[in-house]
Structure 1
Amino acid sequence: MSSSHGPAPSPFKQPRAVWAVAFACVVSFMGIGLVDPILPVLAEQLDATRSQVSLLFTSYLVVTAVAMLITGWVSSRLGAKRTLIIGLALIVVFSLLAGFSGTINQIVGFRAGWGLGNALFIATSLAVIVASSSGGFAGAIVMYESALGLGIAAGPLVGGLLGDISWRGPFFGVAVLMTIALVATAFLLPPTPKPEHPSSISAPLTALRHRGLLTMGLTGLLYNWGFFTLLAYSPYLMNLSAIQLGFVFFAWGLLLAAFAVFGAPWLQARFGTARTLYGNFVLLAVDLAVIGFGHNSPATVIVAVIVAGAFLGINNTLVTQAVMMVSPVERPVASASYGFVRFIGGGLAPYFAGKLAESFNDAIPFYVGAGAVVLALIVFSTGRSMIDAADRKMLGDGETLEGAEGLESLGGADTVDGAADLHPGAARA
C-alpha cells in the first residue's frame, strides 16, 4: 500500500456513479425512520397496539438481517449493478403496496418485502462506493455514512410532512424517490461483470468464526438494541403530531449526520477508535437512561432524543469502520455478516420495547436499552487489542485502508480495475 504525503482527498469529490449510488443510499436509509412520525397515527387509525405497530420495524429489519446472508451469493452471480437494481426495484414495489394497504398486518408484511430489497441494496452499495470512490477507503466510509445520516434525517421529515396529509403518503413518497434512484443507478453506474469465482452462500456465517468480526457483530447487535428502542418507541412519549415528530427526528438526524461525517473522524484522530467508542457507549447509555427516568416529561424526551443523534452518528461511523479494520475476509462478506448480526438486534428491540411497556411501564424499554449499550461496551472491550493494532496500522500507512482490496466477491478484479482506471484514487495496492 502506498503512503499518503499530501493532503487527503475530499470525500465529496466523487465520480457520478458514486453520487448516484449515494443518492439511492439516502433514499434507502430514509425507510428506517420514515414511519417514525406516523406510528401513533397508525396505532390510532388502524386500531393496533404499540407492539403491533412496532412490527413495522421488526419485519423490515429482521428480514433485512436474514437476507444479508444471501447478498454476496446473489451479487457474485448477477454482478453488483444488477443486484443494486433488483434491490431498488423491490423497495419501489413493496413501498407502493404498503401505501395501498388497509390493515396493520398487510403493512407489516409488505415492510418485510421492503427489507429484502433493502438488504440486497445496502450490502452491495457499500462495496460499490468503496470500489468506485476517489477518496480511498476512509473517503468511501464518510460518503456512505453521510448518505446514511442524511437518509435517517430526511426520512422522519418526509414521513412527517407527508404523514400529516395521510399515513399512506410516506410510503408513496419513498416509491417515487426510489424510482428516481433506480433510474440514476441504471444509467450512471458502469456495468459490473460477474466474478470468476462466485461467493459461497455460507460465506457470511462462516466468516463469523473469526473473533474480530463476531466481536464487532455482537457489539453492533447490542448497540442497535438501544438505537432502535429509541427510534421506535420514543415517538409515543412526545405527544406530538406527525409533522412535529418529523421535525424532532429531523433535528436528531442532522446531529447524527454531522457527527458521523465530522465528529467521528476528529475524535478518532484525537483519541483513537477504542477510547472514543468507550466514552460514546457510556454517554449513549446515560442518554437512554435519562429518557427512561423522564419518560413522563415530553420536553425531556425530545431533548434527549435529539442529543442522542450525536452519539449515534459517532457510533455508526466508527463501528462500521472497525468492522472493516478487523475483518480478515472480503469486505462484501464482512458487511453481510455484520449486517446480519446487528440488524437482528435492531429488529427485535422495537417489538420487545412495546411488550415491556405494556407489561411494566414506558420507562423499562429505555432502561433495558441502556443496559444493552453497556453490554456492547463490555463486548467491544474484549477486542480492544485488535482495534488498537488496526489504528496503529492506519497511522503508519497514512490513510485508513485500501479502497478496493477484498472486493473480489463483488465483481472480481475487473470491477476494481475498472474503478481504478476511471479514478486513480479508487484503488491502491
Structure 2
Amino acid sequence: MSSESHSSLLDAIKGQPKQVWITAFAAVIAFMGIGLVDPILLSIAKGLQATPSEVTLLFSSYLGIQAVAMLVTGAASARFGAKRTVLVGLTLVVVATALCAAAGSIEQLVGLRAVWGLGNAFFIATALSVIVGAATGGQGGAILLYEAALGVGLAVGPLLGALLGSISWRGPFLGTALLMAGALVLCSIFLKSDAHEKRPPIKLLDPFRALGHPGLLRTSIGSALYTAAFFTVLAWSPFVLGWSAVAVGLIFCGWGLCVAVAGVLLAPKLAGRLGERHATVVAVVGYAVLLLVMAVPSKPVLVVGIIASGIVSGLLNTLFTGTAMSISDAPRPVASAGYNFCRWLGGAVAATLVGHVAEWFGSPQAPFVVAAVLCVVAGGLLSIKERKPDPKSVPAEAVLVGEEF
C-alpha cells in the first residue's frame, strides 16, 4: 500500500467538505448500533424471558442480513446513486429501531434487528464510498475518518445503551431511532445529489468475482476469522461478567475509546514501520494471545482484557480495511462488497454459536479459547506471501483493468 494510506488523523480532518462530516456523523450513529445492545443483553434476557443463546441472536440476525446485503450494496449504489442508497438505508434503520422499542418478544426483536442490519448494510458500505470519493487528502485520510467514526460509534453505543438501559431496555432503541432520524434529515439536505451522474454498472456476482483474487480472498477470510473473535468478546463477555448495564456499558465505552485511538493514531504508525501485511499478522496473533488471557476465570482479568482488546481491534479494523482496499485491482465498491460480506458473516456466525460453544465445552471461558484459535488461523493465512504474476504471462489489457482500492 502506498504511503498515502498512512496519513495522520490531523491531515485527514483538514479542509474536508461538509458532506464528508455529515456522512461521518451518520456513520458514528450507525456504528453505535453494534454495541448498543451489549450492556442491556441481560436486561433483555430478563425482560423477554430469553436464554443467552436466544439473546445473542440479536447480533446474529443483524450481522447475517448485513453480510448478505453487502453483496448488493455496490449494485444498488451504481444503479440508484450513493445519496439515495444512503437515505434508504437510514430510513430502514429509523423504522427498525423505533419498532424495536415496542417489541413484545425476543423473536420480534431478532426480526427487527435483521431489518436494522439491512439498513445498516446499505448505509455503511455506501458511506465509505461517499467519504472516500468526497474527502480531500486521498484514500488514506478517508479511511482514517471512517475508522474514527467506527471507533467513536463503538465507544458511545455501549455508554448510551447503559444510560438509557438503566431506565428500560427499550430506551436505547428509542434513543437510536431519534438520533438516526436526525442523521437522515442532515444527509437528505447536505449530501449532493448524484441522480444524473454516470456510474459504471456493477453486477450482483461482481463481488464474488473480486474474491477470486488470492490476496483479497485471504484478507477477507482472515478478517472474517478476526471479526468472529471480535464479536465473541462483544457478545459473550457481558454474560461472563453478569454485571449491571451501567457497569458493562462503562467497560465497553473504554473499549470503544481504545478502538478509536488505536485505529486512527497507532495503526498508521505500525503499518508504516512494519508494512501493512506484517503489521496485520503481528496484531492478529497478539489478539489471540490476549484472548487466551481473557479465558482465565477471573472477572478483573477479563475486564482488563476487554479494554486492552480495544487497542488491538482498533489496529486490526484499520489494517484489514486498508489491505482490502489496496491488494486487488477491483473497483472500490466491488471489492468492498466482497470483503464486507466475509467480514460481517464471520461476526454473524460467531454470535450465533458463541453460547452453544460454551454449552458444548461446559465452560464460559471456552468461546475465548476458540476465538484465539481462529485468530491464529487468520495470522497463518495472512502470512502467505502473494505470488507476483510473470509480466510475460499477463495480457497487456489486463494490467489496465480496475482502479486502485
- Scaled by the length of structure 1, what TM-score is found? 0.87
Residue 83 of structure 1: which of 82, 85, 110 is its match? Answer: 85
Q: CA deviation at 1:369?
A: 0.4
Residue 272 of structure 2: which of 266, 269, 273 is its match? Answer: 269
SS of equivalent residue, structure 1 residue 195: coil
Rounded to whole Å, the distance in 2 between the matches of 1:196 and 1:232 is 39
Which residue in 2 is equivalent to 1:178?
A: 180
Contact 1:215 1:383 in 2 (8 A): no
Contact 2:296 2:302 in 1 (8 A): no
Rounded to whole Å, the distance in 1 between the matches of 2:345 and 2:272 is 31
Equivalent position amino acid for 1:84 in 2? V
Which residue in 2 is equivalent to 1:159?
A: 161
Pick closer, same or farther for the CA change 1:299–1:385 going to 2, 3 Å: farther
Which residue in 2 is equivalent to 1:286?
A: 289
Pick closer, same or farther for the CA change 1:42–1:197 going to 2, 3 Å: same
Rounded to whole Å, the distance in 1 between the matches of 2:317 and 2:3 is 27
Rounded to whole Å, the distance in 2 between the matches of 1:276 and 1:75 is 32
Structure 1 residues 356-415: Cα deviation after superposition (integer angstroms, max 9, x where no partner): 1123210111100000011110111124567xxxxxxxxxxxxxxxxx9569xxxxxxxx
Which residue in 2 is equivalent to 1:329?
A: 330
Rounded to whole Å, the distance in 2 between the matches of 1:306 and 1:208 is 33
Q: CA deviation at 1:198?
A: 2.3
Which residue in 2 is equivalent to 1:210?
A: 213
Contact 1:65 1:343 in 2 (8 A): yes
Rounded to whole Å, the distance in 1 between the matches of 2:348 and 2:372 is 17
Which residue in 2 is equivalent to 1:187?
A: 189
Rounded to whole Å, the distance in 2 between the matches of 1:154 and 1:233 is 19
| Percent of aligned positions that are identical | 46
Q: How many residues align?
A: 385
1:5-404 equivalences in 2 (<5 Å): 10-13=11-14, 14-193=16-195, 194-294=197-297, 297-359=298-360, 360-383=362-385
Q: CA deviation at 1:205?
A: 1.4
Structure 1 residues 32-70: Cα deviation after superposition (integer angstroms, max 9, x where no partner): 000000011111221111110000000000100000111
Rounded to whole Å, the distance in 2 between the matches of 1:196 and 1:257 is 33
Which residue in 2 is equivalent to 1:418?
A: none
Which residue in 2 is equivalent to 1:416?
A: none
- Any gaps of 5 or more consecutive residues in structure 1? 387-403, 408-429
Q: CA deviation at 1:239?
A: 2.8
Equivalent position amino acid for 1:103 in 2? S
Rounded to whole Å, the distance in 2 between the matches of 1:80 and 1:301 is 41
Contact 1:77 1:195 in 2 (8 A): no
Equivalent position amino acid for 1:332 in 2? P
Contact 2:62 2:116 in 1 (8 A): yes
Structure 1 residues 236-262: Cα deviation after superposition (integer angstroms, max 9, x where no partner): 122321011111000000011000000
Rounded to whole Å, the distance in 2 between the matches of 1:332 and 1:164 is 40
Contact 2:329 2:404 in 1 (8 A): no
Which residue in 2 is equivalent to 1:421?
A: none
Q: CA deviation at 1:309?
A: 0.2
Equivalent position amino acid for 1:372 in 2? L
The alignment yields a C-alpha RMSD, in angstroms, of 1.8
Equivalent position amino acid for 1:80 in 2? A
SS of equivalent residue, structure 1 residue 376: helix
Pick closer, same or farther for the CA change 1:406–1:75 going to 2, 3 Å: farther
Contact 1:65 1:344 in 2 (8 A): yes
- Any gaps of 5 or more consecutive residues in structure 2? 389-401
- Scaled by the length of structure 2, what TM-score is found? 0.92
